[in-house]
Chains A and B, each alone.
Chain A
Amino acid sequence: MSQRVVVTGIGIYSCLGQNLGEVTQSLYAGKSGIVFDQQRKDFGFRSALTGMVQEPDLKNQLSRRQRLGMHQPAIYAYVATKEALDMSGLDIDFLEKSETGIIFGNDSTAASIIEAVDRAKEKKDTTLIGSGAIFQNMNSTVNMNLSTIFKLKGINFTLSAACASGSHSIGMGYLMISQGLQERVICGGAQEINPSSMASFDGLGTFSVRESEPQKASRPFDKDRDGLIPSGGAATVILESYEAAVKRGAPILAELIGYGFSSNGDHISNPSVDGQIRSLRMALKQAQVTTHEIDYINAHATSTVVGDGSEAKAIYEVFGADVPVSSTKSMTGHECWMAGASEIVYSILMMQHSFIAPNINFENPDEDSARINIIPETKQQPIDCFLSNSFGFGGTNSTLILKKV
């Protein structure tokens, strides 16, 4: 029998703030987290713009051995996950005796690999790389570190699906629980922000070069956009069966009612309206809701002409002109592997506080964005049900629908 799946904890560490309170304020204020990073210019980047998050010092929280295997993705994910576990009322004593798993989205560990290989080349001795590097370098760094730290006993793997990784991780956790295979799964997404991780992406020429105005550079759906801005951090979403959540008196923040997905099976980087429409329709069908029941769409839109245009066409085709839409990437930049999870966290915060965060820098629509209802300024409005899109390189699409309980 299919189990109902609810969210019982969220956590965030992003360029909009280092915890849920700070991020809620930034979302409401329409505050951008984008900065000019001189280090990128010196490196040879075409664009020095990035979302900026500080690297937290975990010395007082974790042992030396626990810290050694962690580089940016795992470090950020630890902070977000600790916040989510605290909110959910889950501690290590409970976790090690329960059926709790982890499926986290991550798709790179570039900086740690380069640092390790450079060291081996310099010393001409692989022993001198040190013992922590292998656990930093593997793409599964987040789940291997967090499952060890939090003593998790359930499903344990990483999900890599480019910029839809975070969203699919939540979808996969949802399937595990709804099928009765797990009581509880820690889902999320992590994204390193160092130059090594984004150099090859910058090389494609797809990043905004509006360097004189960093906070105006990310402009999803706006006619005058000139590219996306990379960003990062981590977001955690704790999914649990409704039954298990009620049994332990956990806070229930929302119910996950639909997971749609598709593959374009076409170009490696270009989006597909058809692929996106199939993902949207699958999620709606599974959630058994009509398009009129969706109060808000958190768009994938990253501030590229082709990507934003294709999503606007897909939304118009499926929903028509009325449903409110915003892309929080206008404030965060593109959080890539993390985005699908962070945008669920942002949308749940909006649902909790009854507002729609603005699509900042949306000043002039183009032909496609003029046909949908983009919210350019913070709007007070109850949200009972929302939808979040994530689309990634390789044509991987994911759509999630959540509602109030």
Chain B
Amino acid sequence: MYINDVKMNWEEVIEETRDFLSEEFEIDRNLILPENNLKDTLDLDSLDYVDLVVLIEENLNIKITGEDFKEIVTFGDFFKLVRKKLAL
């Protein structure tokens, strides 16, 4: 599939996501693993979810809402949501 005019497979989407999350939230990208807790690992407060929505729109060109985060606990949950939105 193409994201922002770049052809990517699912593994590349995951790596891209780990890159932009670690860069924005200033954490070690190796901590972004499916089993780890998203909120705790990224140290998110209520304002940070807004920036997460912005990041996903900018980097993956998909829209996620606050409602979508209600079901997300781990990065694994998060990647599933992204995959669903990308319809991969």
Contact = CB atoms under 8 A, between A and B. Distances in A.
Interface stretch (A103-111, A126-134, A161-169, A289-297): A126-134
Contact of B51 (A63, A123, A130): A130
Interface in A145-189: none
B26 A127 contact: no
A68 B53 contact: no
Interface in B24-59: 24-26, 45, 47-48, 50-51, 53-54, 57
Contacts of B25: 64
Contact of B53 (A64, A127, A132): A127
B26 to A, nearest CB: 5
Contacts of A65: 45, 47-48
A130 B48 CA distance: 9
B48 A131 contact: yes
Contacts of A125: 63
Given A64-B24, A64-B25, A128 B45 contact: no
B47 A131 contact: yes
A129 B63 CA distance: 13
B78 to A, nearest CB: 18
Contacts of A68: 47, 51
Contacts of B26: 63-64
Contacts of A130: 50-51, 54
A125 to B, nearest CB: 8
A125 B48 CA distance: 17
A127 B54 contact: yes
A64 B63 CA distance: 23
A293 to B, nearest CB: 53
Interface centre among A63, A68, A131, A132 (most CB of B within 10 A): A131
A131 B50 contact: yes
B47 A128 contact: no
Given A65-B45, A65-B47, A128 B53 contact: yes
Nearest to B64: A127
A130 B51 CA distance: 5
Contacts of B48: 65, 131
B48 to A, nearest CB: 7
A127 B51 CA distance: 8
Contacts of B47: 65, 68, 131
A127 B54 CA distance: 7
Contacts of B53: 127-128
Contacts of B51: 68, 130-132
Nearest to A123: B57
A129 B47 CA distance: 12
Nearest to A125: B63
B87 to A, nearest CB: 20
Contacts of A132: 51
Nearest to A64: B26
Nearest to B54: A130
A130 B63 CA distance: 14
A24 B45 CA distance: 43
A265 to B, nearest CB: 43
Interface in A246-295: none
B40 to A, nearest CB: 15
Interface centre among B24, B48, B50 (most CB of A within 10 A): B50
Contacts of B57: 123, 128
Interface in B5-35: 24-26
A66 to B, nearest CB: 12
* Closest A-B pairs by Cβ, 6 of them: A131-B47, A131-B50, A130-B54, A131-B51, A64-B26, A128-B54
Interface of A: 63-65, 68, 123, 125, 127-132
Given A63-B26, A64-B25, A127-B54, 15 more contacts: A64-B24, A64-B26, A65-B45, A65-B47, A68-B47, A68-B51, A123-B57, A125-B63, A128-B53, A128-B54, A128-B57, A129-B54, A131-B48, A131-B50, A132-B51
16 contacts: A64-B24, A64-B25, A65-B45, A65-B47, A65-B48, A68-B47, A68-B51, A127-B53, A128-B53, A130-B51, A130-B54, A131-B47, A131-B48, A131-B50, A131-B51, A132-B51
